């Protein structure tokens, strides 16, 4: 009987999650106990006459956090054990539950899922909400000790003030130009490379693809020094080539397109060759139409990434003539005299203006992003 009940509990989707939380809770309890042991040892060896601050500085991390670890761990253990008890009760009495009760429980689960999804959505969207309402507040209201969740007086003048404080139109133009050419370059190079790695046959193909995947693990902060030196020697600092050329290749997009192209059966390519198509024709007329969701996804992600790019444009563009929108927002903290000021409301207004295009783009094309992601991850 006990064995069958345990088997039923293990078949439930919550069982593994509860086991994970129980293990995590026991680790927290163990850390708390370790902290108490460390605290007693260090206090016994502590010199007399020390102040509370000196004692706190002398104690180790676990000794200082002992109460937090133990309290959170015990609460987590209690909650996890309660979860196991509820799971055991539900599994033990599932045969005695009527069909109507099962339907009610199903509706309750659906309602609970919607409630949890709604709470997570609110948590995710609250920073955007706060940015929008902050852009409509006065500077005095925004710096109040107790923040307000709704503007007392709407300050629509913050948006035209942004256009006066910095050349925002120029920043938008620079961002559009760099984003467009980066998107075109990444798509063209990504498509050609993905075709070679998915449908091509040459020596060392897999090794080269592993090198491409290895590039995914190297952040730009590691490679930007040699890239910056190269760009500087070419005279591309404060120029569009300096902003665009280092970003023309994306290893991530090559990987996504390769996975998508591999899902296309070779018989379609053979049929295209019979019709007289060459490699470029096969890519344009066969692979790209059949992998349209992935192509659209890559275009959107490239646009969003280029639009939000901050680190590299800040390094290579030091003049307003070539600054992008992400870098331009930080310039709003400076007045015309070059001094910083607490104009956070105008900074928020500039940030709102900066995200409007990508938010609209995402809302319109979100279904293509989901379809492309799921298709690329299936292979």
CA distances from 44 to 30, 39, 48 (A): 21, 8, 10
Tokens of 24: 């995590």
CA dihedral 189, 190, 194, 197 (to 10 degrees): 60
Tokens of 108: 């309750």
Closest by CA position to 286, among listed 296, 276, 298: 276
Closest by CA position to 242, among listed 187, 305, 178, 188: 178
pLDDT at 1: 45
First to last CA, the chain: 43
CA dihedral 312, 197, 297, 245 (to 10 degrees): 20
Please say whether the dihedral angle defined by the alpha carbons of residues 291, 294, 299 and 300, taken in this order, is positive or negative: positive
If you ran DSSP here, which 8-state letter would residue 250 be given? -
Residue with tokens 């799971």: 87
Closest by CA position to 76, among listed 27, 121, 31: 27
Q: How far apart are CA 192 and CA 254, in angstroms?
A: 9
373: left (phi over 0), alpha (psi -120 to 50) or beta: alpha
**Residue 103 burial class via C-beta count within 10 angstroms: exposed 0-12, middle 13-18, buried 19 and up:** exposed
If you ran DSSP here, which 8-state letter would residue 283 be given? I
The residues facing 185 across adjacent strands are none
What is the pTM assigned to this prediction?
Answer: 0.64
Closest by CA position to 349, among listed 146, 199, 141, 138: 138
Closest by CA position to 285, among listed 172, 200, 191: 191
Residue with tokens 């956070």: 344
Helical residues (DSSP H) of the chain, grouped into ranges: 2-11, 13-44, 52-58, 61-64, 66-92, 99-134, 139-142, 158-165, 168-199, 205-215, 220-233, 240-244, 251-262, 266-274, 279-282, 288-290, 292-308, 311-316, 325-330, 344-378
Q: How far apart are CA 258 and CA 189, in angstroms?
A: 12
Residues in the chain: 379
Tokens of 227: 């890239």
**List of residues 6+ apart from 126 with CB closer than 8 A:** none
pLDDT at 178: 92
Q: Say if CB 371 and CB 293 are below 8 A apart.
A: yes
> What is the pLDDT tens value at each position of the chain, 379 positions in all?
444 555 555 555 567 777 788 888 888 888 889 888 888 888 887 777 777 777 777 777 778 888 888 888 888 888 888 877 777 776 666 555 556 666 666 777 788 788 888 888 888 888 888 888 888 888 778 777 777 888 888 888 888 888 877 788 888 889 999 999 999 999 999 899 988 888 888 888 888 888 888 887 887 777 888 888 998 998 888 889 998 998 888 888 888 888 888 888 888 888 888 888 888 888 888 888 888 878 888 888 888 888 888 888 888 888 888 888 888 887 776 654 454 556 778 888 888 888 888 888 777 777 766 665 555 555 4
């Amino acid at each position: 009987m006990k064995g069958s009940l345990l088997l039923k509990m293990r078949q439930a989707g919550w069982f593994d999650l509860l086991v994970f939380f129980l293990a995590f809770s026991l680790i927290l309890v163990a850390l708390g106990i370790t902290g108490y042991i460390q605290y007693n040892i260090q206090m016994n060896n502590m010199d007399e006459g020390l102040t509370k601050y000196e004692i706190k500085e002398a104690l180790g991390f676990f000794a200082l956090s002992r109460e937090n670890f133990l309290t959170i761990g015990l609460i987590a253990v209690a909650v996890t054990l309660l979860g196991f008890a509820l799971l055991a009760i539900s599994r033990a009495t599932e045969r005695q539950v009527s069909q109507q009760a099962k339907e009610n429980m199903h509706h309750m689960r659906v309602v609970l899922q919607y409630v949890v999804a709604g709470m997570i959505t609110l948590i995710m969207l609250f920073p955007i909400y706060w940015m929008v309402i902050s852009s409509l507040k006065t500077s005095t209201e925004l710096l109040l000790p107790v923040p307000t969740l709704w503007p007392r007086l709407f300050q629509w003048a913050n948006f035209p003030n942004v256009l006066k404080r910095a050349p925002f139109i120029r920043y938008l133009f620079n961002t559009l130009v760099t984003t467009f050419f980066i998107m075109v370059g990444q798509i063209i190079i990504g498509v050609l490379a993905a075709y070679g790695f998915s449908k091509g046959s040459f020596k060392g193909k897999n090794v080269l693809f592993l090198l491409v995947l290895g590039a995914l693990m190297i952040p730009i902060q590691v490679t930007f020094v040699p890239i910056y030196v190269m760009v500087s020697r070419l005279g591309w600092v404060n120029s569009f080539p300096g902003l665009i050329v280092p970003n023309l290749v994306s290893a991530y997009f090559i990987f996504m397109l390769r996975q998508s192209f591999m899902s296309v059966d070779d018989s379609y390519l053979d049929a295209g060759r019979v019709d007289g198509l060459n490699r470029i024709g096969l890519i344009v007329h066969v692979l790209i139409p059949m992998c349209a969701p992935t192509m659209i996804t890559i275009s959107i992600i490239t646009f969003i990434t280029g639009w939000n790019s901050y680190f590299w444009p800040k390094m290579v563009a030091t003049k307003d003539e070539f600054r992008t929108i992400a870098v331009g927002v930080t310039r709003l903290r400076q007045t015309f005299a070059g001094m910083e000021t607490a104009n956070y409301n105008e900074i928020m207004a500039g940030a709102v203006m900066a995200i409007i295009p990508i938010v609209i783009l995402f809302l319109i094309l979100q279904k293509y992003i989901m379809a492309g992601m799921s298709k690329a991850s299936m292979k």
